[in-house]
């Protein structure tokens, strides 16, 4: 059974919210132990594939979860430490976010999965009433490779902040994610780097498959959907084998991992296009860690339904914001007296209330509000973008939408690429 809420938790409104969530989780656990009703994920999750674009295969659907419906395709803002950086819950909701992402690796280290459980799970902890997805921590294990030791049983790793040693296995990952209580949880996997040799990629993929079976055996809460992850690095036969193996598990949805790990964009695009059709058509498909407007267009065209990425808030912290013609930067002097919003006709809070000149002024004064406003805009821009993609799919005109918008984005990317080459040439000539 779950540990009772701490006595020191005094705030009445949040206490009631947490007690409700705690009681709900206790009822699920009690019913499971008593064998009542043989509850499973299908009692709480459903995916309706509403339309497939006839020319591209792009998909529109609705994923139902215990905390609400998610219209796909969808972009998921990342709240690694149970907060989307620089934004409050109300500000996140104002962007139209239907689901957010947290990371169980970071939440296990701080604040601790058991503490989060005792506050009613991630929803009570954050006071967030919409769906949440947690990553298993497999990617963090990969990205901090110099601090970990991978064995068949699991991973021993070092906390990069305080040096403490920790251990996570597939079973412990499931325990952590069930304590956190997200609607969608991810299988514990081994992500291969780019580049890597075939034997390493195959070994990591096969371990991922063995760990997946252990994850499904360890998972007990039917109000959480466990998504398996395709691995196989950048080898088509391995991707094919991995998609085949994970599809034998009757999951609510499936994910494509091991991309956006340093490979060129054309390689990422190819393997997304190659892998997506290998997954079940009647289940949602999640492309992990990808989220530029160009990536969204390519992924949706390939048949992807769900995306996440830290770029909207990370870019904002560096002054960068999305436009219909690529990225721009509020630090540019041309915005010093510009009375226009960041993007004309954008309905985000920043664009409806403030000018480019004002936000630039805040940035120059090192006011944190500048990053907040840019983050609100960037997240809203991507959510509005995928909504327009969804409308185009439902009206069976996504190919035209793709060609129109990709042309604009591609042109600006080529311009920046050419300018970068010229800059490098100048450095070479001057020796700087």
Give pLDDT tens digits for 178-221: 999 999 999 999 999 999 999 999 999 999 999 999 999 999 99
76 and 46 assigned to the same domain:
yes
The reply to whether 282 and 370 lie within a common domain is no
Burial-class residue 257 by CB neighbours within 10 Å (0-12, 13-18, 19+).
buried
| CATH value at residue 220 | 3.20.20.105
Tell whether 289 and 372 lie within a shared domain: no
Residues 359 and 223 in one domain: no
Q: Are residues 303 and 328 in the same domain?
A: no
pLDDT band at residue 319 using 50, 70 and 90 as cut-offs = very high
**What whole-number distance in Å separates Cα of residue 325 and Cα of residue 323?**
5
Expressed as residue numbers, the domain containing 76 is 40-309
Would 118 be classed as within a structural domain? yes
Q: Do 133 and 210 fall within a single domain?
A: yes
Omega before residue 50 within 30° of 0, cis = no
Q: What letters, b where the CB count within 10 A reaches 16 and e where it falls short, cover 102-112?
A: bbbbbbbbeee
Give the Cα separation of 303 and 273 in Å (integer).
Answer: 8
First to last CA, the chain: 64
324 and 293, same domain (yes or no): no
> Is the residue at 408 inside a domain?
no
| Domain assignment present for 315 | no
Total domains in the fold of the chain: 2
Spatial separation of the C-alpha atoms in residues 151 and 135, rounded to whole Å? 20
pLDDT for 160? 86
Q: Are residues 359 and 294 in the same domain?
A: no
pLDDT at position 307 over 50: yes
260 and 395 in one domain? no
253, part of any domain: yes
417 lies in a domain? no
296 and 351 together in one domain: no
Contacts of residue 263, defined as CB under 8 A and 6 or more positions apart, other chains included, come to: 194, 195, 234
Nearest 5°: CA angle at 157, between 152 and 159? 160
Residues belonging to the active site: 135, 308
Query: Is residue 17, in this structure, part of any structural domain at all?
Result: no
On whether both 244 and 346 belong to a single domain, the answer is: no
Report yes or no on 26 lying in a domain: no
The C-alpha atoms of residue 352 and residue 376 are separated, in whole angstroms, by: 11
Mean residue pLDDT of the chain comes to: 88
Residue after which a domain boundary falls, among 253, 274, 309? 309
27 within domain boundaries: no
Alpha helices, DSSP H, located in 4-87: 12-34
Q: How confident is the model over 47-69, as pLDDT tens digits?
A: 999 999 999 999 999 999 999 99
Q: Rounded to two decimals, what is the model's pTM?
A: 0.88
- Please indicate, yes or no, whether residues 365 and 263 belong to a single structural domain of this protein: no
Burial class, 365, CB count within 10 angstroms (exposed 0-12 / middle 13-18 / buried 19+) = exposed
Residue 429 and residue 89: Cα distance in Å, rounded?
51
Mean pLDDT of 76-90: 97
Q: Which of 262, 129, 98 is nearest to 196 (CA)?
A: 262
Q: What is the pLDDT of residue 410?
A: 65
Query: What per-residue confidence (pLDDT) applies to 425?
Result: 42
pLDDT score, position 10: 33
């Amino acid at each position: 059974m779950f540990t009772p809420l701490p006595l020191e938790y005094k705030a009445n409104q949040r206490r009631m919210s947490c007690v409700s969530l705690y009681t709900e989780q206790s009822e699920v656990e009690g019913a499971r132990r008593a064998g009542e009703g043989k509850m499973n994920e299908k009692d709480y999750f459903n995916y309706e594939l509403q339309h497939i674009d006839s020319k591209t295969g792009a998909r529109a659907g609705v994923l139902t979860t215990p905390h609400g419906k998610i219209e796909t395709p969808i972009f998921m803002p990342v709240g690694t430490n149970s907060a989307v950086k620089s934004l409050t819950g109300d500000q996140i909701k104002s962007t139209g976010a239907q689901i957010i992402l947290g990371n169980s690796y970071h939440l296990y280290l701080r604040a601790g999965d058991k503490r989060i459980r005792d506050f009613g799970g991630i929803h009570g902890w954050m006071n967030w009433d919409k769906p949440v997805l947690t990553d298993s921590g497999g990617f963090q294990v990969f990205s901090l490779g110099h601090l970990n030791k991978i064995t068949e049983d699991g991973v021993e790793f070092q906390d990069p902040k305080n040096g403490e040693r920790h251990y996570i296995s597939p079973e412990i990952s499931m325990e952590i994610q069930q304590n956190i209580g997200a609607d969608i949880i991810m299988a514990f996997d081994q992500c291969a780097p780019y580049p890597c040799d075939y034997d390493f990629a195959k070994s990591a993929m096969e371990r991922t498959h063995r760990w997946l079976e252990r994850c499904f055996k360890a998972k007990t809460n039917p109000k959480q959907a466990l998504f398996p992850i395709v691995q196989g690095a950048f080898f088509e036969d391995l991707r094919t084998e991995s998609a085949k193996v994970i599809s034998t598990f009757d999951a609510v949805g499936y994910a494509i991992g091991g991309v956006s790990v340093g490979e060129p964009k054309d390689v990422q695009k190819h393997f997304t296009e190659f892998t997506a059709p290998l997954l079940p058509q009647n289940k949602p498909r999640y492309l992990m860690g990808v989220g530029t407007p160009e990536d969204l267009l390519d992924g949706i065209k390939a048949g992807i339904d769900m995306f996440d990425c830290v770029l909207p808030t990370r870019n904002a912290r560096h002054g960068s914001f999305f436009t219909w013609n690529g990225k721009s930067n509020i630090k540019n002097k041309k915005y010093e007296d510009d009375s226009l919003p960041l993007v004309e006709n954008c309905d985000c809070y920043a664009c409806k209330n403030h000018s480019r000149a004002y936000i630039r002024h805040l940035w120059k004064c090192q006011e944190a509000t500048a990053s907040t406003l840019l983050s609100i805009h960037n997240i809203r821009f991507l959510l509005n973008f995928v909504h327009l993609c969804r409308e185009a799919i439902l009206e069976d005109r996504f190919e035209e939408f793709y060609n129109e918008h990709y042309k604009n984005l591609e042109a600006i990317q080529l311009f920046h690429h050419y300018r970068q080459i010229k800059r490098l040439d100048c450095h070479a000539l001057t020796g700087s």
